[in-house]
Amino acid sequence: MTTLKIQIHANLEWQLERTRRGRFLAICEPLGLTLEADTQDEALSLINEGLHYFFLDHLADGTLARFLTMKGWQSSSLPEAYEPGDAVTFDVPFSLRSLHAA
């Protein structure tokens, strides 16, 4: 088993909204992801988990390099080969912008 750390150079912004019912919505338009959480801490945890699985799915499908190129993003550490049993982590910096209640 190989351990891979993949650094993604992207300009990701997540918008964090609080709903009228007090829940938090985290929205990343460039990725088309929306996550819902009870607390802001849970939202941050879900963002990290969501990013991991989003990019892992692309890596497993062999579409990660093409996806990054299409978005104008890069990775300085894409592996030449990936096996489903490999341990993979993604370093994907992002910013969080709070919005008013929905």
**Measured between alpha carbons, how far is residue 77 from residues 35, 43, 58, 64 in Å?**
27, 27, 15, 12
The pairing of beta strand 3-9 with beta strand 74-75: antiparallel
Matching residue, tokens 């990660």: 64
Domain region containing 30: 3-98
pLDDT tens-digit map of 52-79: 999 999 999 999 999 999 999 999 888 8
Matching residue, tokens 């996806």: 67
What pLDDT band is residue 101 in, cutting at 50, 70 and 90? Answer: low
Half-sphere exposure of 24 (CA within 13 A, CB side): 19
How many folded domains does the chain comprise?
Answer: 1
What pLDDT band is residue 2 in, cutting at 50, 70 and 90? Answer: confident
Query: Could you tell me the pTM of the whole model?
Result: 0.88
